[in-house]
Amino acid sequence: MTMDEYKAAGNEAQQYVWAGAIPLQIHLHDSEVTTLPPPSPALILASRFGYLPLLVPQIKPFFSSLLPPGVDTVHFRGYPGNLLIPCEGEESVKWNFINALKEAAYIINGNCKNIMNMSQSDQAELWLSVLKGRMEVYHGVSSKLKLEVAGDEFSFKLNSSSSKALQGINDSNATAPTRTGRIPVRLYLRSIVEDIDHLEDSHIVDNWDKISYINHPVEANGNCFTLYDAVKALLPELFADKSSIYANQRVEEVGEELRSEEASSSAGPEDTAEISSERAGSLSDNAEIKLVRIQGIEPKMEIPFAWIANNLMNPEHYLHICVYIKIREPINI
């Protein structure tokens, strides 16, 4: 894979994410229902990068048309202020986005000067590109902010099969200093007891208390810091107190794979099972990672984390990661 092909792969991933949408089924709360039978839910295909409060102009007319004659206003009573921050319209959402961008910039660069020094026109264009889903316009403005994550050049070497690139891997490991990058991460953790292979098989979340939220930067240490390493750094309590065999040997394994493609392709199921058992063996005995999703995708755990951050991040430069953990129930004697 050439550098141009590698960049094209990253661009394709970004296009996939920016074009992504989430099907929503929005119900009128029981306390607001004034007709029998209750109104049907509003069905909306919303942008993956959208904001729920900005859907109100679509939702309100849908339910207003179902109210009894003479009633032309939808009343929202008993707002759950303990769960949701009140939103006063698009301007409120915009400044929430800008503030999150400042936080991310501070994590990445140690300051947010580039955000603070944005012109009013650039700020307006950046926000409009997010609202309209215009990826090219967004990149044109955001490139001025210098928020790229360091260390992504190693991803290219991982995906290259040329002997020159392979030599580059060996040389960089032997002589180059360790690259460190701080990546803004927001992690959503759900613990389950059932054994599932697909997210759709899990029970519906009926209480937000069942979702743990972690807002924490990840230090991407080393030339081959993977998604697996990032999850381990974010959730150290779920891993045994020993170094990861997978993380320590990754660079050497990549070199061997590139040297012998034929041997790699002929590996049997038992070889794959051995690697998987090594990785699972570093987890705590009473916990198991069942699913890791980013932008609706279940990426491979060995993908370099810098590549994931640069290509799957949200427009405010946070990487949002969803993790499902299976907790083994204690045996009562």
Tokens of 5: 């092909």
Of the candidate ranges 14-28, 75-89, 252-266, the one whose mean pLDDT is the lowest: 252-266
pLDDT score of 40 more than 70: yes
pLDDT score of 159 more than 60: no
Mean pLDDT over residues 5-25, rounded?
Answer: 87
Mean pLDDT over residues 86-112, rounded?
Answer: 92
| Domain containing residue 31 | 3-64
pLDDT score of 140 more than 90: yes
Task: Supply the CATH number for residue 115's domain.
Answer: 1.10.246.190
Tokens of 298: 């279940």
Helix (H) or strand (E) holding 221: strand 218-221
Q: Is residue 150 part of a domain?
A: no
Task: Supply the CATH number for residue 239's domain.
Answer: 3.10.20.90
59 and 113 housed in the same domain: no
Alpha helices in the chain, H assignment, sequence order: 3-18, 56-64, 90-109, 113-116, 120-132, 135-142, 153-158, 163-175, 227-234, 245-259, 261-265, 269-281, 305-312
13 and 59 housed in the same domain: yes
Q: What is the dihedral of CA 144, 148, 154, 159, to 10 degrees?
A: -80
Instruction: Check if the beta carbon of residue 314 is closer than 8 Å to that of residue 50.
Output: no
Nearest to 165 by CA among 257, 229, 227: 257
pLDDT score of 118 more than 70: yes
Number of domains in the chain: 3
d(CA 72, CA 65) in angstroms, rounded, equals 8
118 and 213 housed in the same domain: no
Please state, for a pLDDT cut of 70, what percent of the chain lies above it. Answer: 68
d(CA 98, CA 208) in angstroms, rounded, equals 26
Mean pLDDT over residues 83-89, rounded?
Answer: 74
